[in-house]
Amino acid sequence: MYEFLKYTVKDVMTPSPLTTTPDTLLRELEKIFETHDFNGIPVLNHEGRLVGMVTKYDLLKAFIFTPDSPIPRYGLIMDRPASSVMSLDPVTVTPDMPLSRLLQELVELQTKSFPVVENGRLVGIISREDVLKALRRTTEA
């Protein structure tokens, strides 16, 4: 009944997730999303520090209509770097965070996944799907 309360982020996160760099082009990001079906990818700088998160939403947002031109320059936008669309200073969580608290943040921030950081290093990523899986596992009859 109360099994879920015992879970922490590290129990269900994906360790050592795929990451990208600030200068990765949007067309390369799109391929990653197509291949792996992630919601978001952590962006690491050359020293390996987390500098942002880039999501499918960020990618889509790059193509909306703006006052700059009557038609978005679809091809040129694909050649922009991840740094031009990523969220800076993303909300991070720690591996020891109770999953009940993580669930609360997922809902309140309407975020699909959080990077998991320990001692300044990225150690994993945790998504809605991971939490749903834990809920199913802990409530099975």
Please report, as ranges, the residues that interact with other proteins according to CB under 8 A.
Answer: 65-71, 73
- Provide, rounded to whole angstroms, the least separation between the CB of residue 60 and other proteins: 15
Residue nearer to other proteins on the CB measure, 16 or 66: 66
Residue nearer to other proteins on the CB measure, 1 or 71: 71
- Provide, rounded to whole angstroms, the least separation between the CB of residue 63 and other proteins: 13
Residue nearer to other proteins on the CB measure, 71 or 141: 71
DSSP for the chain, please give it: --GGGG-BHHHHSEES---B-TT-BHHHHHHHHHHH--SEEEEE-TTS-EEEEEEHHHHHHTTS-BTTBSS--HHHHHTSBGGGTSEES---B-TTSBHHHHHHHHHHHT-SEEEEEETTEEEEEEEHHHHHHHHHHHH--
- Provide, rounded to whole angstroms, the least separation between the CB of residue 65 and other proteins: 6
Residue nearer to other proteins on the CB measure, 16 or 69: 69
Contact of 27 with 134, CB cutoff 8 Å: no
Residue nearer to other proteins on the CB measure, 71 or 88: 71
Question: Sign (positive/negative) of CA torsion 52, 54, 59, 64?
Answer: negative
- Provide, rounded to whole angstroms, the least separation between the CB of residue 79 and other proteins: 14
- Provide, rounded to whole angstroms, the least separation between the CB of residue 61 and other proteins: 15
